[in-house]
């Protein structure tokens, strides 16, 4: 009886059952975790592998398309693996097409600005929220879950610091297909690119070397941010993005001549290198009096002025015993007053009558200028109290460095010379010498073509 009772009251069997249940529960939980986290991860890996395969195929397509566009082959075909996605040829003539605009601008004379726009079109693979596209001679990829786009293969956009070469690839054709198999894409061209620049038959302004101030390339595209990142890797470019309008803007400035040059009434100065604390080496005028001027080098009010937006910088020369200099800087966005300076000494005039000459060096570090403090709101363009700290006296080199940096922040400037009604200067023998460190982003030559590519998607 006792043995039977002990058997009935024993918990050994319960322990075995509980152990089995615990193991079973852990197995279920583990499988659930795997299903919850592992399957999406596996799907992501599968999607990434599929996207990478399509990207590789588009890179091959890019290489073969270049052969067609550059005349090496009249026709190229390539197979693209669909993997449940779709391939779409979007014609450049579509009003919503991506585009490139090139603006060759003259900041001092808007009538001399030249602009051309070429629509790009795209050949695009789309699956769910992943996009891979051939556009503008490059391959681009965008996966919405990661945000932004990336470059897979660089576009036909080449800049070596002097010449911008831009063969613009323009897709022609509207077709599409989707499914799970392979699809063949045929690309052909007549191998006759349309020369857009230089081309004086279209416009007298489309000449090399470029005579305008700035070249601006504006890319409007769903992949604009990747375009911007690519452009930023090139030397001497200034790149901006506009997320609202899906545009990337690449700015390149043209480089004006330097060294000693004949004096003319308009002197162009490019933006100074902001990383260089003393970018201006030479800004020197050599003046000779006119041969028939018995009064010699006797300017009453010889004015050299540049304007940039709200800012104006003026150098004024007047004959006293020698050439007296005044410097005036204004910025109407900051103050209604001006910062005014006058020379402590004067630039010496040599010779007599029509043989007189003088050298006016606006980068002389020993030629001192005195701050006249006529402004009610003094020294608004300088750090607080810096003029008082240096006893209100700076060299003309200090002023030239400081003010021309400010003047060229928005681009190149032109100094206009006004010698007055009785200009005493002989421009045939007088000179100006310019040497300075230019800001990054300068261009001398431009070569742009439009290359039409006819795309057929063959099922």
DSSP letter string, 266-323:
EEEEPPB-TT-SS-EEEEEEEEEB-TT-TT-S--SSEEEEEEETTEEEEEEEEESSSE
pLDDT range class, residue 398, cuts 50, 70, 90? very high
Burial class (CB in 10 A: 0-12, 13-18, 19+), 217: buried
Spatial distance between the Cα atoms of 97 and 136, rounded to a whole number of angstroms = 11
Taking a C-beta distance cutoff of 8 angstroms, is the pair 312, 303 a contact?
no
Mean pLDDT to the nearest integer, 294-304 = 89
CB atoms within 10 A of CB 129: 11
Spatial distance between the Cα atoms of 281 and 361, rounded to a whole number of angstroms = 11
Spatial distance between the Cα atoms of 198 and 212, rounded to a whole number of angstroms = 13
178 or 72, which is more confident:
178
Of 42-51, 65-74, 222-231, give the range with the top mean pLDDT. Answer: 222-231
**What confidence score (pLDDT) does residue 50 get?**
66
Mean pLDDT to the nearest integer, 394-401 = 95
Domains of the chain and any CATH numbers: 47-255+444-458 (no CATH), 259-437 (2.60.120)
pLDDT range class, residue 370, cuts 50, 70, 90? very high
Q: Which of 128-137, 160-169, 278-287 has the lowest mean pLDDT?
A: 160-169
Q: Residue 176: in which H helix or E strand, if any? A: strand 175-178
Residue 49 scores a pLDDT above 70: no
């Amino acid at each position: 009886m006792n043995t039977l009772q002990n058997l009935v009251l024993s918990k050994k069997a319960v322990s075995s059952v509980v152990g089995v249940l615990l193991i079973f529960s852990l197995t279920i939980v583990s499988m659930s975790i795997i299903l919850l986290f592992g399957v999406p991860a596996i799907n992501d890996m599968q999607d990434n592998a599929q996207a990478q395969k399509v990207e590789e195929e588009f890179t091959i397509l890019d290489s073969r398309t270049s052969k067609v566009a550059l005349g090496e082959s009249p026709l190229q075909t390539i197979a693209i693996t669909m993997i449940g996605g779709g391939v779409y040829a979007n014609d450049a003539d579509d009003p919503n097409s991506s585009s490139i605009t090139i603006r060759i601008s003259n900041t001092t004379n808007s009538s001399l600005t030249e602009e051309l726009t070429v629509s790009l079109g795209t050949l695009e693979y789309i699956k769910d929220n992943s996009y891979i596209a051939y556009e503008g001679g490059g391959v681009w990829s965008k996966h919405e879950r990661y945000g932004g786009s990336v470059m897979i293969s660089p576009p036909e956009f080449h800049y070596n610091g002097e010449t911008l070469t831009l063969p613009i690839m323009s897709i022609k054709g509207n077709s599409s297909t989707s499914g799970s198999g392979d699809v063949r894409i045929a690309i052909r061209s007549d191998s006759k690119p349309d020369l857009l620049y230089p081309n004086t038959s279209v416009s007298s302004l489309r000449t090399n070397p470029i005579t305008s101030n700035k070249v601006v390339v504006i890319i409007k595209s769903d992949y604009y941010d990747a375009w911007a990142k690519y452009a930023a890797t090139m030397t001497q470019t200034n790149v901006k993005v506009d997320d609202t309008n899906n545009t990337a803007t690449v700015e390149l400035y043209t480089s004006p001549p330097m060294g000693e040059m004949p004096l003319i009434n308009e002197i162009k100065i490019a933006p100074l290198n902001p990383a260089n604390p003393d970018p201006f080496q030479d800004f020197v005028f050599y003046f000779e009096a006119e041969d028939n001027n018995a009064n010699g080098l006797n300017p009453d009010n010889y004015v050299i002025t540049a304007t940039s937006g709200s800012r104006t910088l003026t150098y004024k020369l007047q004959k006293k015993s020698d050439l007296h200099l005044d410097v005036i800087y204004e910025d109407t966005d900051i103050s209604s007053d001006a910062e005014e300076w006058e020379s402590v000494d004067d630039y010496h005039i040599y010779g007599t009558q029509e043989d007189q000459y003088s050298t006016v060096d606006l980068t002389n570090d020993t030629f001192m200028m005195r701050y006249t403090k006529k402004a009610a709101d003094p020294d608004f363009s300088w750090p607080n109290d810096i003029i008082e700290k240096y006893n209100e006296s700076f060299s003309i080199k200090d002023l030239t460095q400081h003010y021309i940096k400010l003047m060229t922040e928005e681009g190149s400037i032109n100094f206009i010379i006004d010698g007055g009604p009785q200009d005493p200067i002989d421009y045939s023998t007088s000179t100006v010498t310019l040497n300075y460190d230019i800001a990054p982003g300068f261009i001398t030559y431009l070569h742009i073509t439009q290359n039409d590519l006819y795309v057929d998607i063959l099922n």
